[in-house]
Copies of this chain bind each other. A is one copy, B any other.
Amino acid sequence: MSDIVTAGMVVIGDEILSGRTKDKNVGHLADMLTAVGIDLKQVRIVPDEQADIVEAVNALRARFDYVFTTGGIGPTHDDITADTIAAAFGVPCDYHPDAYPLLEAHYAARGIEFTEARKRMARTPQGASLIDNPVSVAPGFNIGNVYVMAGIPSVFQAMLDNVIPTLRTGAKLLSGSLICTLGEGTIGGPLGEIQKAFPETIIGSYPRFETSGPYTEIVVRSRSAEQRDAALAAVKEMLDSLGNGG
């Protein structure tokens, strides 16, 4: 179906895998993509190592409409994302004709030396276009269907705000939910039957453990509002028949 648009994400970061930093970008990207009707289908978190990054980016860009990466685009030796994406696409990595003067002017205006390290942030794979960075100037970039952004959440979010309006979006997954005080073991059987009866919906069941007793949220998602509403009505009827809230 042409109105389904898919995405993958590659988080580049030793610091996430070591536990030193807790990722905040997966949840933000998921929220933003869901809001515009793009389905995030897979996330991979990989170390700052070229072979791992190339493998993940190439696997996901072949499979999904868009790939978003976070991390590794700063000025230090451990920031290898630009070189790595160039390797994934089989193109050279060099100073971008717009990024270099942008950064040069930025540092000149502030009287800061434009060091070799800072110049590294002007490097992109050949043919990439820039993603504006209103927070800290050094840009992200886009090549093919891959969008390369910063790992620092405030910078990632600002870059993503510039990218989202340029993307092709699909039919949104519409969701609705019901909360019940019945356990999943009680509702599980009939809920499975409802899922079978409404194949155009995705019905999820999310339990919590509360000291007051069982508490389960049932979420129905569908690209059709009618199907979603019909499935939700069937769920409500089932819950009522089992004595929810009675």
Contact = CB atoms under 8 A, between A and B. Distances in A.
Interface in A1-56: 11, 14-23, 26-27, 30-34, 39-48, 52
A42 B52 contact: yes
Indicate the member of A74, A117, A136 with the most B CB atoms within 10 Å: A117
Interface in A126-166: 135-136, 152, 154-155
Interface string A60-93: 0000000000000011111000000000000000
Nearest to A190: B117
B115 A20 contact: no
Contacts of A11: 43
A205 interface: yes
B184 A76 contact: yes
Interface stretch (A94-102, A206-214, A223-231): A206-214
A232 interface: no
B184 A117 contact: yes
Interface in A161-214: 173, 175, 183-189, 191-192, 195, 202-209
Given A152-B207, A152-B209, A209-B135, A117 B19 contact: no
A209 B136 contact: yes
A120 interface: yes
A205 B78 contact: yes
A123 interface: no
Nearest to A151: B206
Given A18-B173, A206-B15, A209-B136, A77 B46 contact: no
Contact of A115 (B107, B118, B152, B189): B189
Contacts of A47: 41-42
Given A115-B185, A188-B118, A219-B20, A74 B15 contact: no
Given A120-B188, A185-B112, A189-B117, A78 B203 contact: yes
A9 B115 CA distance: 39
A176 B205 CA distance: 43
Contact of A14 (B52, B204, B209): B204
B185 A117 contact: yes
Interface of A: 11, 14-23, 26-27, 30-34, 39-48, 52, 74-78, 107, 112-113, 115-118, 120-121, 135-136, 152, 154-155, 173, 175, 183-189, 191-192, 195, 202-209, 219, 221
